Amino acid sequence: MATSATTLTSLSFFSSSLFLSSPSSKLSTSLSFSFKPSSNPSLSISSQLSTLPILSFTGEKIGETYLDLKSAPPETARAVVHRAIITDLQNKRRGTASTLTRGEVRGGGKKPYPQKKTGRARRGSTRTPLRPGGGVIFGPKPRDWSVKINKKEKKLAISTALSSAAENTIVVEDFGDKFEKPKTKEFIEALKRWGLDPKQKSMFLMMEVPETVNKSSRNIGTLRMLTPRTLNLFDILNCDNLVLTPDTVDYLNGRYGEDYEGDTEDDNEEYEEEEEQSGE
Ordered by start, the domain boundaries in the chain are: 46-93+147-257, 101-144
In this prediction, residue 269 carries a pLDDT of 54
- Tell me the CA distances in angstroms from 112 to 126, 195, 271, one per residue in order: 7, 73, 58
pLDDT exceeds cutoff 60 at 266: no
- In this predicted model, what pLDDT tens digit does every residue of 55-110 receive, in sequence order? 999 889 898 888 888 889 888 999 999 999 999 999 999 999 999 999 999 998 89
In this prediction, residue 3 carries a pLDDT of 42
In this prediction, residue 279 carries a pLDDT of 52
Supply the mean pLDDT for the chain: 80
In this prediction, residue 224 carries a pLDDT of 93
Q: What is the mean pLDDT of residues 209-235?
A: 92
Find, among 166, 135, 144, 196, the residue nearest to 69 by Cα.
166
Q: Which of 14-28, 57-71, 216-230, 244-258 has the lowest mean pLDDT?
A: 14-28
In this prediction, residue 193 carries a pLDDT of 93
Stronger pLDDT, 116 or 46, i.e. the higher one: 116
Return the DSSP state at 14. Answer: T
**pLDDT bracket for residue 267 (50, 70, 90):** low
As assigned by CATH, the class of the 46-93+147-257 domain is: alpha beta
**pLDDT bracket for residue 191 (50, 70, 90):** very high
**Cβ distance 55 to 194 under 8 Å?**
yes
Distance (Å, whole) CA 270 – CA 280: 16
pLDDT exceeds cutoff 90 at 25: no
Distance (Å, whole) CA 213 – CA 175: 8
Residue type, 77: A
- In this predicted model, what pLDDT tens digit does every residue of 128-181 receive, in sequence order? 999 999 999 999 999 999 999 999 999 999 999 998 888 889 999 988 888 888
- In this predicted model, what pLDDT tens digit does every residue of 234-243 receive, in sequence order? 999 999 999 9
Find, among 188, 170, 201, the residue nearest to 61 by Cα.
170
State pTM to two decimals: 0.70
In this prediction, residue 47 carries a pLDDT of 56
Give the DSSP H or E segment for 158.
helix 151-164
